[in-house]
């Protein structure tokens, strides 16, 4: 089971078609070569697009299954670009943070960077969707294995979900979109300090979501 349990069983997906359309802002961050831009354009076009490292940002308009139209900002992850990340965080409704599940050597760096992002005042209470990308690659860490290695710091103070995906094959992306929609809609209707949608890794994690 992936950390956070089966989130879609705990939120009202059946009512999505009757919900009013609204607009949101989502920022996608992660280290360089995590596959953020490939993921963005797979979501946008359904095709696996070869990309170069992003210098600056890419932005596209998308829609979730829960009738939320959102702008998705994909910001370059190179070390020399990270100082500009706070400029993109204001008024962010949900953060997507992409992890390269094949690059275990850089996982501590990725988690340290995520902690720094989440410590920004503008990110107080903003939910996080962690995507363990490149699941199609042999030897990639499964989401449960990545969950065991997460640093809890700022994540323990907010809603978060970890899911595996492949920007190359599209594996897990429709579920990720659905979860993103539920996080965004719940963010709109509740205070940011509300209950967790996922829990720290423990055998009783799913029970904590009831």
Q: Is 63 annotated as a binding residue?
A: no
42 in a labelled binding site: no
Other C-beta atoms within 10 Å of 197: how many? 22
Going from the C-alpha of 97 to that of each of 20, 74, 90, 206, the distances in angstroms are 27, 10, 16, 22
Q: Is 32 among the annotated ligand-binding positions?
A: yes
From the candidates 78, 120, 154, 174, which is the catalytic residue? 78
204 is in an annotated binding site: no
- Output the CA angle 95-138-55, nearest 5 degrees: 40
Q: Could you confirm whether 2 is annotated as catalytic? A: no
Closest CA to 127 of 168, 171, 97, 86: 97
Q: Is 30 annotated as a binding residue?
A: yes
Query: Is position 54 annotated in a ligand binding site?
Result: yes
Consult the annotation and say whether 136 binds a ligand: yes
Could you give the 3-state DSSP secondary structure of residue 180? helix
- Is 181 known as a binding-site position? no
Establish whether 169 is an annotated binding residue: no
**Separation of alpha carbons 65 and 179, rounded Å:** 9
Q: Is 34 assigned a ligand-binding role in the annotation?
A: yes
**Nearest-angstrom CA–CA distance, 47 and 17:** 26
Q: Which own/partner pairs from 9-13 qualify as long-range (CB within 8 Å, at least 24 positions apart)? A: 10/197, 10/209, 10/210, 11/182, 11/186, 11/197, 13/65, 13/66, 13/178, 13/182
Please check if 102 is assigned to a binding site.
no
> Which residue ranges are tagged as binding site for GTP?
30-37, 77, 133-136
> Which residue ranges are tagged as binding site for Mg(2+)?
37, 54
> Which residue ranges are tagged as binding site?
30-37, 54, 77, 133-136
Catalytic residues: 78
């Amino acid at each position: 089971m992936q950390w956070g349990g089966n989130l879609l069983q705990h939120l009202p997906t059946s009512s999505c078609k009757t919900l009013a359309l609204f607009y949101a802002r989502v920022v996608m961050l992660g280290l360089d070569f995590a596959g953020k831009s490939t993921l963005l354009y797979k979501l946008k076009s359904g095709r696996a697009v070869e990309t170069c490292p992003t210098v600056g940002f890419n932005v596209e308009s998308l829609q979730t299954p829960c009738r939320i139209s959102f702008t998705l900002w994909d910001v370059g992850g190179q070390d020399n670009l990270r100082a500009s990340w706070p400029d993109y965080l204001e008024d962010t409704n949900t953060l997507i943070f992409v992890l390269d599940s094949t690059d275990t050597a850089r996982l501590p760096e990725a988690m340290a960077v995520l902690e720094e992002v989440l410590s920004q005042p503008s990110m107080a209470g903003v939910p996080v969707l962690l995507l363990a990308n490149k699941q199609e690659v042999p030897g990639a860490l499964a989401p449960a294995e990545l969950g065991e290695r997460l640093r809890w710091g700022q994540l323990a103070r907010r809603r978060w979900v970890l899911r595996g995906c492949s920007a190359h094959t599209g594996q897990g992306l429709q579920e990720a979109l659905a979860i993103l929609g539920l996080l965004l809609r719940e963010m709109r209707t509740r205070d940011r300090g509300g209950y967790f949608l996922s829990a720290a890794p423990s055998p009783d994690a799913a029970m904590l979501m009831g």
